[in-house]
Amino acid sequence: MAKVLIIGAGVAGASAALALDSAGWDVVVVDKARRPGGRCATRRLAPDRHSPWFDYGAQYFTARDTAFRARVESDLAAGVLERWSPAVCMAEHAASGWQLKRSPDERERLVGPEGLNHWVRYVFEQADIDVRCGQPVRRLSRTSQGWRADLGEHGRFNADAIVLTVPPVQARRLLGEQAAVLPALAEADRMLLPCHSLVVAAPALPDCQAIFVKDGPLSWCADNSHKAGHTDTSARLWTLHAGPEFSAAHLEDTPESIATTLTREFAAITGTSTRHMRLVRTHRWRYARPGPAAEPLADRCQAARDERIVLAGDWLAGGRVEGAWLSGAAAAAQLSE
Ligand SMILES: Cc1cc2nc3c(=O)[nH]c(=O)nc-3n(C[C@H](O)[C@H](O)[C@H](O)COP(=O)(O)OP(=O)(O)OC[C@H]3O[C@@H](n4cnc5c(N)ncnc54)[C@H](O)[C@@H]3O)c2cc1C
């Protein structure tokens, strides 16, 4: 049985793993993080499983592609995905100050009943994929048989083929000079833009659980407690995302200073006071979402076929969770051809 090493246990890694496993490959997935999920990142306030949770990476996803849609329908039926219908608002800064208007946007938004990370983990577990977390790949080298991954203290791993789903800057680093076989990595630095993410406990808002912000440092605010189905009106866990321009301009600022700016902005937009907010978590996503330079590829992945290595990830397929899923599936198809 041919052995494939998938590097990265995010959505692209999950979808590639499923497809390659079904195609008869011996699949192993490694990830440097403590658990699978990648940018579908969820935490709980406290370690116990009844503690409130919040998504601080991807917030929800949409599904249009037929094959992805079929997967989503089956996961909705299994109860590992749910539809989230928040009252969505648009925040605009006018001469008179912030204006919060209800948006007619009622697209289907898919979330995990215990956060999006839970869904990605379910995908791996349901297919019984061998996922090894806490194992960063430090280097990839070509061998006469295929590829060798240097896993530092975890040893070395020899595989016939590689699916590389890590962000492009990291992919280029792992490959060193061999990155030249994958032209998509030439402009790796320009592909994914950063995002400062903040979670605060703050009051619920009447008729508003999600905000697209048009001006200023923030771009998105979401009431996780509403997502989790909590209907009480006490403090909610709000995720606040800064926009790419602000995040890039303040990439190295301290978490405290980012938190001060973003909570003040959130208070101004919602007409509340920072005195009623408590900081829960800050996170800097250095590689968050594809920017304008990340043109989707027709193949949704890039294969150096003679080398038996394929790049996959959202940045090659139009971004978002759906793009990552389709890219992973496309990478598996390339290897199985
Ligand atoms: C703040 C934020 C908000 C977002 N909002 C949305 C949204 O609302 N809707 C939506 O559809 N999408 C959203 N996205 C995008 C979505 O999260 C991504 O498109 C998707 O999760 C990408 O999946 P991926 O598998 O391509 O990459 P990733 O999830 O980044 O997976 C790559 C994996 O590689 C691992 N890795 C990296 N280096 C190594 C190494 N050396 N060795 C081993 N493992 C390694 C990482 O730990 C990671 O788990 C958002 C993203 C962010 C950050």
Per-residue pLDDT of the chain (337 residues; tens, 9 = 90+): 999 999 999 999 999 999 999 999 999 999 999 999 999 999 999 989 889 999 999 999 999 999 999 999 999 999 999 999 999 999 999 999 999 999 998 899 999 999 999 999 999 999 999 999 999 999 999 999 899 999 999 999 999 999 999 999 999 999 999 999 999 999 999 999 999 999 999 999 999 999 999 999 999 999 999 998 876 667 799 999 999 999 999 999 999 999 999 999 999 999 999 999 999 999 999 999 999 999 999 999 999 978 899 999 999 999 999 999 999 999 999 999 8
Pocket lined around ligand 1, Cβ cut-off 6 Å: 7-13, 30-33, 38-40, 57-61, 136-137, 165-167, 170, 174, 195, 197, 241, 285, 288-289, 313-314, 319-321, 324
pLDDT at residue 337, as a whole number: 84
Distance CA 276, CA 202 (A): 6
* Identity of the residue numbered 49: R
Distance CA 85, CA 217 (A): 25
Q: How far is the CA of 186 from the centre of ligand 1 (A)?
A: 20
Q: Alpha-carbon Rg of the chain, whole angstroms?
A: 20
pLDDT at residue 233, as a whole number: 63
Atom of ligand 1 at shortest range from CA of 324: 26
pLDDT at residue 67, as a whole number: 96
The dotted CATH code for 44-115+192-290 is 3.90.660.10
DSSP structure class, residue 169:
H
Residue minimizing CA distance to atom 1 of ligand 1: 57
Domain 1-34+133-188+295-337 belongs to what topology? FAD/NAD(P)-binding domain (3.50.50)
pLDDT at residue 229, as a whole number: 86
Residue 193, CB half-sphere, CA atoms under 13 Å: how many? 19
pLDDT at residue 163, as a whole number: 98
Dihedral sign for Cα 39, 45, 50, 54, please. negative
Atom of ligand 1 at shortest range from CA of 197: 1
Atom of ligand 1 at shortest range from CA of 173: 41
Q: Which two tokens stand for residue 296?
A: 């989707």
* Identity of the residue numbered 50: H
Scanning 51-100, the segments in alpha helix (DSSP H) are: 66-77
Beta bridge partners of 115: 113
Residue 204, CB half-sphere, CA atoms under 13 Å: how many? 15
Judge whether 7 and 17 are in contact, CB under 8 Å: no
Residue minimizing CA distance to atom 15 of ligand 1: 320
Beta bridge partners of 199: 239, 281
Q: How far is the CA of 267 from the centre of ligand 1 (A)?
A: 29
Domain boundaries, the chain: 1-34+133-188+295-337, 44-115+192-290
ipTM over cut 0.95: yes
